[in-house]
Amino acid sequence: MLVAPASLGLLAPMAATANEVTINDFNAAEEIAVTNSRVDGLEARLNNFEAGSFSETTTASFSVDTVLGAIDGASSETTSLDFQFNIGLSTSFTGEDSLDIAIDSGSPSPSIMSSGIMGFDSGGALTVDGVTYSFPVGGASMVVGDSTDLSTAFTGACTYSAFTDLTPDDCGTGNSMGAGGKGVTAAMSYGFDSGFSLAGGVTSGNAEILGDEADAFGLNAAYSADSYGVAVAYVSDDGGTSTDTTFWGLNGYYTFDLASLSAGFETSDDGTTEKSGYFVGLSFPEVGPGTANIAAATTGLFADSETETLVYEASYSYALNDGMTITPGIFIKEVDGADDETGVAVKTSFSF
């Protein structure tokens, strides 16, 4: 018992000395500096990772379109709901060029409203719909791409916004002013300060670029002023055969105080038969909170000996907000030798 107090007396100075050593060894400023250095290093690694994984010049845009509609008089009288989903990726390497990639998807089992009337994409899976690279060549603009339209560099003269694919945005000149692609496409355009522009292009199948078959080429000239514009296009397409079919397309617009009138006319000649078709549409840009459109057009190109059939449409489009637009509309499609097809639909478009 006499030894215990003495032992405690000896241990107490030793404990105090140990505490003093621990406290003196800990330097708050140094520890904070070390911690900050480690955090800075981690941030640098993350920044390097982000910069290497996604270019600062790359942008992405997304859109979804849905259509709820019904058709009376068609082979299948049903009410359907369909969708399409589109992704657009764009990047620049010089500030003057642009690499663009389109990725599309849609309803796995599209209805006649989706595929036959609205022209929606379909298939369920995401599909690369085109890879295009545009760049300047002197004062001109050059475009090359795969699954790219022949008319990608063409300038049209049409202000009408189509509701259905029966009266497309190119004012009924889809074979010329809106000519599609066969695979590999190269096109060039040049715009003058006067409002006049010239363009040309060629497209070929991937299996035989500029070969004997599966080629098409086209030329385009356009002029636009403050209140009117006019454009003409010529396309020669062999259609994968030894016979060339030539298309001529002409469209134009004139803007009044309350409306804009758009019209188009197109002809085709395969060496045996000549055909033609036309389009006329009116756009009223300020009707309440939205825009109204009405149009009439032939359902295709017809020879003089054929019975000409027409399609009519009317729609009203208004934006609920910056990313959502609703467009209700109606259409009537004449069918030779059968009942006319009448449809009503509501299209909702989202962009983000």
- Locate the DSSP E strands across the chain: 59-72, 79-91, 98-106, 127-137, 140-146, 184-191, 196-204, 215-224, 228-237, 245-255, 260-269, 274-287, 290-298, 310-321, 324-333, 341-351
CB within 8 Å of 181: residues ≥ 6 apart:
145, 147, 148, 149, 150, 152, 203
Q: Is residue 26 part of a domain?
A: yes
Q: Write down the pLDDT at residue 45.
A: 55
Q: Is residue 296 part of a domain?
A: no
| Angle 105-103-323 from CA coordinates, rounded to 5° | 80
- Cα 221 to Cα 192, 259, 269, 278: the distances in Å are 11, 25, 20, 19
- Alpha-carbon distance of 351 to 9, in angstroms, equals 81
Place of tokens 């795969």: 146
Q: Is residue 24 part of a domain?
A: yes
Q: Write down the pLDDT at residue 39.
A: 56
- Alpha-carbon distance of 236 to 221, in angstroms, equals 16
Q: Is residue 44 part of a domain?
A: yes
Start-to-end CA span in the chain (Å): 84
Q: Write down the pLDDT at residue 346.
A: 98
Per the structure, the count of domains in the chain is: 1
Q: Write down the pLDDT at residue 32.
A: 60
Rounded to two decimals, what is the model's pTM?
0.79
Q: Write down the pLDDT at residue 222.
A: 98
Q: Is residue 8 part of a domain?
A: yes
| Angle 20-22-25 from CA coordinates, rounded to 5° | 105
Q: Write down the pLDDT at residue 279.
A: 97
Pick left, alpha or beta for residue 210 (phi over 0 → left; psi -120 to 50 → alpha; otherwise beta).
left
Q: Is residue 45 part of a domain?
A: yes
Q: Write down the pLDDT at residue 194.
A: 92
Domain with 29, as residue range(s), is 1-51
Q: Is residue 205 part of a domain?
A: no
- Which residues of the chain register pLDDT less than 70? 1-55, 74-76, 207-214, 240-242
Q: Is residue 16 part of a domain?
A: yes
